[in-house]
A and B are shown apart, each in its own frame.
Chain A
Amino acid sequence: MLAQIIQPGSKEHKHALEYFDLSPAICQEVGEKIIGAYNQATPNDARNAAGTYAYLAAIRSLRDILCPEGWQPHREGNIEMVLPVSGDFAITASSGDKNTGRDGRDPKTKNQKGSQTDALISKNQWWPPSGELFPEMESNDPPYDPDQTPTWFLLYHVDSINNETRMELSLPINIDIYTLRVDKWKTRIILPKVMFDGTPIKRTNQQELYSDFDIEIKRKVNE
């Protein structure tokens, strides 16, 4: 079963971001932090440094941006997340494969996940209990409960070929028992992709070391 996909620009997409109290500008900023951190890796770094830097930046930027608005950093086992004031849901971050942020085939997480993640996402398939995707919650909602509260993934993929980072906010429901990667999602909210300039320095081919910078122009109609 393929996930329900919510694309940018739709009324549903707007409603979804409002539900999460996120804006395109916030998503853009998180995406930029991820790219900036990813590009910090140099040939002197350990092999997987770029990905690690990107993950750290994803978690930190979510908290840096949202916590001043009342959100709370939270750690469930070794899973880093951020919780809204309402406690209606939790958001964590993870790198995804090349299908991240694209319509069509469902993405997988880039890295294997363990039993703690499995426990957290297993209840997601029963969400939402009312059948409404983004239910209005009462003001006296119960606080965050790892056995009840859904955990959404900010899934991101740094695509250095197309110079873009694709992201989505998705509700995971299954970990593949062979690959140990999250491979099924109930809902995928595709976020606007973030374009970037510059090619990661870890590339050693001289021609690929540099990339060009996109420039867009638009003709005005009055002249």
Chain B
Amino acid sequence: MNDPVFNYTRLKFARKLRGLTAQALCDRLCITTRTLSDYENGSAEPQSIALHKFASVLEFPEEFFFAGDISPLDDNAVSFRSLSRMAAKVRDAVLHKGQLALDLSEWLDKRFETPSVAVPDLRHLTPSAAAETLRSLWMLGDNPIGNMVHLLESKGVRVFSLTEDCTDMDACSFWKADRPFIFLNTQKSVEHSRFDAAHELGHLVLHKHGGIGKAGEIQAHEFASTFLMTEGSVRAYFRIPPTLNKIIADKCIWKVAAVAYVRRLKDLSLITEWQYRSLVVELSKRGYRKSEPGSVLQRETSKLIPMLFQALRDEGITKQSIAKDLKIYTRDIDDLIFNLTLISLKGVTGRGTISAPINSNKLSKLKLVK
């Protein structure tokens, strides 16, 4: 049997995923950029001590560097919310983490049948019409949506999280092999994150074949607003006068940010331009521009992943063994799955009591069909 061969594509991949420039990595390892360049383009192969250092600094098992070729997601195929204010290294890190998520998703797909994809191509429709059509297809009526992540997962969308080092980005989405993926930043407010999820859903149904750009972002925003706050439901609950306290109370019905709710009221001509501006100014003074003060909403997390991990756990397959298969550490899995603190996700052997994930209150509805 041949000895494993160092795969230089994985060194650059790991560096980019950690958001490190070549210089920053060289500084940490006390090597020259020329040396690193030789390693990264395959001109030289690191010896065991150097390899150990790379693995340690980049936080990957050494085995990671001996697996097959790996490349980041194609940035042309990914729609980024808040792209304009995102640093290139953050975007790079997301594209690389996205590939890890694909690897994890593929690993799970080999072992489970999960909800089939029910996300149609609605590019021929206006954003509002697309939102209404999708609600109709998904039989949602005018109901507010309790949990966007669960809804998306039930329609075949894979939803992953991006965590601490990606605070400059809101969310991103893409199609890969006929499967839609959405990444949500868990550093944002719950309300913000729900809107991001709906926004990315807009991209998935409206821009599957590209054409995102600034106009596409506006379309996705309109889609999200209509999808989360249907005209019928907003009109049903709206009463004059639209006082600030009423706005703050009512936005909870749709679990959206106060500013997003006020904007929807304006778009539906339920408030005047002057009322809109006044309310936004007042909301800003109370801190609602950047966060949702007093919000008691729990972060929406995956429902699908705990189910899959629990089923694996029942067979004695732990998160550690999944990580080992993927040649990564469990921390990288945690980062992608909303840091769910299920006992079933831990590497504890033997049977233990299963806790509900932090935010799920209806695990009883989970179904495993054998």
- The interface residues of chain B lying within 8 Å CB-to-CB of A41 are 141-142
Interface flag for A192 (CB, 8 Å): no
In the bound complex, CA of A187 to CA of B24 (Å): 78
Interface flag for B163 (CB, 8 Å): no
Contact with A along B334-370 (1 / 0, CB 8 A): 0000000000000000000000000000100111111
Interface flag for B147 (CB, 8 Å): yes
Q: Is the CB of A210 within 8 A of B113?
A: no
In the bound complex, CA of A44 to CA of B142 (Å): 12
Closest B residue to A210 by beta carbon equals B146
Q: Assuming the A-B contacts A215-B154, A219-B111, A220-B111, are A43 and B141 also in contact, with contact meaning beta carbons closer than 8 angstroms in the complex?
A: no
Total contacts A to B, CB within 8 angstroms? 114
Chain B interfacial residues counted at CB < 8 A: 39
Interface flag for B151 (CB, 8 Å): yes
Pick out which of these stretches binds chain B: A30-38, A102-110, A120-128: A30-38
Closest B residue to A40 by beta carbon equals B141
In the bound complex, CA of A42 to CA of B143 (Å): 8
In the bound complex, CA of A209 to CA of B113 (Å): 30
Pick out which of these stretches binds chain A: B84-92, B181-189, B198-206, B232-240: B232-240
Secondary structure of the A contact surface, majority rule? loop
Shortest CB distance A183–B (Å): 30
Interface flag for B253 (CB, 8 Å): yes
Q: Is the CB of B237 within 8 A of A209?
A: no
Q: Is the CB of A39 within 8 A of B139?
A: yes
Q: Assuming the A-B contacts A215-B366, A219-B311, are A44 and B236 also in contact, with contact meaning beta carbons closer than 8 angstroms in the complex?
A: yes
Chain A interfacial residues counted at CB < 8 A: 30
Q: Assuming the A-B contacts A214-B367, A215-B366, are A201 and B146 also in contact, with contact meaning beta carbons closer than 8 angstroms in the complex?
A: no
Closest B residue to A213 by beta carbon equals B154
Q: Is the CB of A217 within 8 A of B153?
A: no
In the bound complex, CA of A197 to CA of B237 (Å): 22
- The interface residues of chain A lying within 8 Å CB-to-CB of B115 are 215-216
In the bound complex, CA of A39 to CA of B137 (Å): 12
Q: Is the CB of A197 within 8 A of B111?
A: no
In the bound complex, CA of A41 to CA of B369 (Å): 34
Interface flag for A76 (CB, 8 Å): no
In the bound complex, CA of A200 to CA of B303 (Å): 22
In the bound complex, CA of A219 to CA of B108 (Å): 10
Q: Is the CB of B143 within 8 A of A212?
A: no
- The interface residues of chain B lying within 8 Å CB-to-CB of A211 are 146
Closest A residue to B363 by beta carbon equals A212
Closest A residue to B311 by beta carbon equals A219
Tell me which residues from 96 to 132 in chain B have a Cβ below 8 Å from any Cβ of chain A. 110-115
- The interface residues of chain A lying within 8 Å CB-to-CB of B365 are 212, 214
Q: Is the CB of B304 within 8 A of A200?
A: no
Closest A residue to B110 by beta carbon equals A223
- The interface residues of chain A lying within 8 Å CB-to-CB of B113 are 217-220
Q: Is the CB of A42 within 8 A of B146?
A: no
Shortest CB distance B241–A (Å): 18
Shortest CB distance B368–A (Å): 6
Q: Is the CB of B147 within 8 A of A201?
A: no
Closest B residue to A163 by beta carbon equals B365
In the bound complex, CA of A212 to CA of B145 (Å): 9
Interface flag for B263 (CB, 8 Å): no
Interface flag for A84 (CB, 8 Å): no
- The interface residues of chain A lying within 8 Å CB-to-CB of B308 are 217
Q: Is the CB of B151 within 8 A of A213?
A: yes
Closest B residue to A199 by beta carbon equals B143
Contact with B along A31-75 (1 / 0, CB 8 A): 010011011111110000000000000000000000000000000
Closest A residue to B255 by beta carbon equals A210
Q: Assuming the A-B contacts A42-B233, A43-B237, are A215 and B141 also in contact, with contact meaning beta carbons closer than 8 angstroms in the complex?
A: no
In the bound complex, CA of A197 to CA of B235 (Å): 22
Interface flag for B307 (CB, 8 Å): yes
Q: Is the CB of A212 within 8 A of B150?
A: yes
- The interface residues of chain B lying within 8 Å CB-to-CB of A196 are 139
Q: Is the CB of B304 within 8 A of A217?
A: yes
Contact with A along B248-286 (1 / 0, CB 8 A): 000001000000000000000000000000000000000
Q: Assuming the A-B contacts A44-B236, A219-B111, are A39 and B154 also in contact, with contact meaning beta carbons closer than 8 angstroms in the complex?
A: no
- The interface residues of chain B lying within 8 Å CB-to-CB of A40 are 141-142, 232
Q: Is the CB of B151 within 8 A of A197?
A: yes
Interface flag for A198 (CB, 8 Å): yes
Q: Known pairs A216-B369, A217-B311, A220-B111; list 16 more (Cβ under 8 Å).
A: A40-B232, A42-B232, A42-B233, A197-B139, A201-B143, A201-B144, A210-B143, A213-B154, A214-B154, A215-B114, A215-B153, A215-B303, A215-B307, A218-B370, A222-B110, A223-B111
A-B contact pairs, 16 of them (CB 8 A): A32-B139, A36-B141, A39-B139, A39-B141, A197-B151, A197-B154, A213-B147, A213-B154, A214-B154, A214-B365, A214-B367, A215-B367, A217-B304, A217-B307, A220-B110, A223-B111
Please list the residues of chain A having a beta carbon within 8 angstroms of any beta carbon in chain B: 32, 35-36, 38-44, 196-201, 209-220, 222-223
